[in-house]
Amino acid sequence: MSEIETKTSLSNRRILQSMRRLAVEILVGFVGVYAAFALSAYKDKRDEIDRRHQIKRALIVEIRGLAATSRRNAGGWGRLSAQFDSSAAAGNPKSFPFVEPLSVSTHVWDATKQASGLNLLDVPTFVMLADFYSRESMMSAQYNELRDFYMSDVLPRLSKGPASFYLPGTRTLLPQFGIYHYALKRLGGMDSTLARFGDTLIVKLAKDTI
């Protein structure tokens, strides 16, 4: 082999080695970028799962408290209705003093909605949550209506004496007290439903929550 051929062969080998090194470096760089991307995606997914569990745990605590309150109140509304009916029949109507606003906290639900946390929940769970909190809102509205009625129609009559609750010259209650009676019974039914619904919802939220 001539000297020229030897130099050419050596040059070709060097070029080939350089190309191989370049290919290896490109491959290593690609693998590194892919691994970094995969790690970032995994971390994002892990953070999403952790946040979902945090939201569900917080909702469980809030719903447990709301359901417990509804369970305590459910029977009470019926007793208040019965007490009012019996006292009215005896000629001296006695009503529960609805002067305090209903204290119901839905901060977790409200904060979750504002922070777009509901996007992390599956559709069936979201639907159940929306239904539960909608019922809670309707129950609160019913209580506030009853409170407004007490302040406007019941409280002023307490100073006028029992006769002001009845049609003149009779023992028949004024028509608006039929609404009062109905509202008390409706509150009892709404609270009973909320307590049962809350228990079911807690089981669903806790099913796959760490």
Average pLDDT over residues 80-105: 82
In this structure, of 38-42, 159-163, 170-174, 198-202, the range with the lowest mean pLDDT score is 38-42
Average pLDDT over residues 146-162: 88
pLDDT band at 190 (very low <50, low <70, confident <90, very high): very high
Which pair of structure tokens corresponds to residue 122? 């599956």
pLDDT, residue 58, reads 93
The beta-carbon contacts of 164-169 under 8 Å, at least 24 apart in sequence, are 165/88, 165/93
Asked if residues 59 and 205 have their Cβ atoms less than 8 Å apart, the reply is yes
DSSP conformation class of 118: G
Asked if residues 171 and 86 have their Cβ atoms less than 8 Å apart, the reply is no
Is residue 124 over pLDDT 70? yes
Distance from C-alpha of 154 to C-alpha of 148, rounded to nearest angstrom = 10
What integer best gives the mean pLDDT of the chain?
Answer: 83
